[in-house]
Amino acid sequence: VVMARGKDFKDAVLAYQYSSPPLSILERAFLDKFWSNVVHLYPMWLAPNVITLMGYACVWVAVYLILSNSPALEGTCDSWVYLVSSVLVFFYQTLDGSDGKQARRTKSGSALGELMDHGVDAVVTTLLPFMTADTFGYGISSLWPWTFALAAQVAFCLSNMTLVHSGCQKFFELDCMEIQWSLILILAFGGLFGPEFFTSTTFPIPPQMSWIKTDFFGLLRPDEIVDLTSGRIELKIVLIIAGLGGCITNMFVYLFYCLAPYIFPTEKQKEHLRKTGYTISILFVHVLRSWGQLFLSYSAILLSRNNIAGDDRKHGALRALLFVSSFSFADLMDRILMLRVAREPLAWIPTGFYPLMAFSVLAKFDSQIGELPVEWFNVLVVVQVIIHHSYFISSVLDLARVLRVHPLKVGKLKD
């Protein structure tokens, strides 16, 4: 497979150097020091990629607990499920934050570790908002959790694009770690006080805002409407607007930092662009991929809400869409990561987009073709998982061969 990718692939991987991004507020306050202490609990033989996969497993256990107890995400989990899920997300963040430190400690940091770490983060980016949204009780067919998750996808993608086009990944004072801590605390409060806490807790608003009542041009159902006419606002609305606003703000600022090297570049950025050969037109094509993921996922959501009959079938289809969209995004990010570390060109249409397109077609014509069983949508999940893991695993193995390392062990391979 390495030979199929060619000598340019090998040369690019061996020449790649990771540039550490700046720390966010919570990382500077305590997280970075905490992770530096945690890493000393790991034995020297424990590979950083194994730590990454342990964190990944924590998230999937939490997803299983929440979906098995509240399949429609309507806030029906027992308190212990939210508390355990909160702890599991904390474990994920801790393992995710300390795997890089273990890599430096064991002198095993590489492009392979970056693909593993960010590849896992790409899957988790979509799953975490839905786990937390269950405490708000909107349901899996609500646009609120979908909008938040898809905005997080685009922000995550553009954050990685800042590294591709400027040579250094951009993070802000309030970034993914702060969002993750918000989600950890939401799950914890949901466990301690019940999901109703986020609805019953309200705050007064300025009289000038008491006229606001919007369904966003008919997109929102009656139970999703933002209604401030009572003069108070529910805590869950505050949290949703704050999180969504943060993601959207970061999204556009990331886009600015992607454009900056082409408008007023520094000498370092000029050198980076000379090496990569990237232009502003290539940036435009790259950014279109992230918006393509957003458009395809949102189309599938709206078509499912409007065309799939029966709550059980609709919820089942949307659960399938959660995983189809999650792994479609992960497949896109894997390819962007390989663009970063190996300068491997992006396909015009990433393979992971095709199951999303097929999902929209099934949802659009659901009633005309006789209300297909939910299992048809689950087939697309299987197809998407195969697409994602085929590319991801082949890339991991190719990088490991070039770097002469074992993906799950410390140290170089012997001749």
Q: Calculate mean pLDDT across residues 395-408.
A: 93
Q: What is the 3-state secondary structure (H, E, C) of the chain?
A: CHHHHCHHHHHHHHHCCCCCCCCCHHHHHHHHHHHHHHHHHCCCCCCHHHHHHHHHHHHHHHHHHHHHHCCCCCCCCCHHHHHHHHHHHHHHHHHHHHHHHHHHHCCCCCHHHHHHHHHHHHHHHHHHHHHHHHHHCCCCCCHHHHHHHHHHHHHHHHHHHHHHHHCCCCCCCCCHHHHHHHHHHHHHHHHHHCCCHHHHCEEECCHHHCCCEECCCCCCCHHHCEECCCCEEEHHHHHHHHHHHHHHHHHHHHHHHHHHHHHCCCHHHHHHHHHHCCCHHHHHHHHHHHHHHHHHHHHHHHHHHHHCCCHHHHHHHHHHHHHHHHHHHHHHHHHHHHHHHHCCCCCCCCCCHHHHHHHHHHHHCCCCCCCCCHHHHHHHHHHHHHHHHHHHHHHHHHHHHHHCECCCCCCECCC
For residue 132, tell me if it sits in a domain: yes
For residue 160, tell me if it sits in a domain: yes
Average pLDDT, the chain: 91
So what's the pLDDT on residue 1? 42
Band of the pLDDT at 12, cuts 50, 70, 90? confident
CATH code for the domain in which residue 317 is found: 1.20.120.1760
The residue segments making up the domain with residue 14 are: 2-403
For residue 309, tell me if it sits in a domain: yes
pLDDT digits (tens, 9 = 90+) for 134-148: 999 989 999 999 999
Q: Calculate mean pLDDT across residues 203-228.
A: 83
For residue 410, tell me if it sits in a domain: no
pLDDT digits (tens, 9 = 90+) for 234-255: 999 999 989 899 889 989 999 9
For residue 311, tell me if it sits in a domain: yes
For residue 336, tell me if it sits in a domain: yes
Please state the pTM of the whole predicted model: 0.93
For residue 408, tell me if it sits in a domain: no
For residue 413, tell me if it sits in a domain: no
Q: Calculate mean pLDDT across residues 288-314.
A: 92
Q: How many domains does the chain have?
A: 1
